[in-house]
Structure 1
């Protein structure tokens, strides 16, 4: 969420968004849950309330990070809400 500082036309900078899951992991703030099996019934709580981040390994130094974002709290000025899936390539 590199543009969180400018969310909203009238409140520029008033409410920056949460950092991305990747940034929080790099800073040591969260540890992702590595997905090894299907999680059909697993709920993902919003980033505002929890540290739920799932890492799905793809091989070859690549993986997905999955988190849930909702327009509340620090994320109140996001342009949308729902699951946010990052494709990460290492190397």
Structure 2
């Protein structure tokens, strides 16, 4: 009967490794989106060679897109953190 416990142990290890990869991807993607969003919100755009209406349009677009990216990045970080909390190894209960 030791052979029957091998696939479930291997499956659990594979599932844990896959979830760790998913958590890492969510966290890294969330951090990248968060950084891009903060840059878009707080750093002004370069308006060299643009007229005043074009420059205002570029700045408003960058600010609005930065807000969406910041919110999306934060949501991905929260989702990755929650997934990590759900799949982390737990200590066996004490008898």
TM-score, with structure 2 as normaliser: 0.23
Larger Cα Rg: Structure 1 or Structure 2? 2
Bigger relative contact order (CA 8 A; separation at least 6): 2
Q: Judging by fraction of residues, say which structure has more helix.
A: 2
Q: Judging by fraction of residues, say which structure has more strand.
A: 1
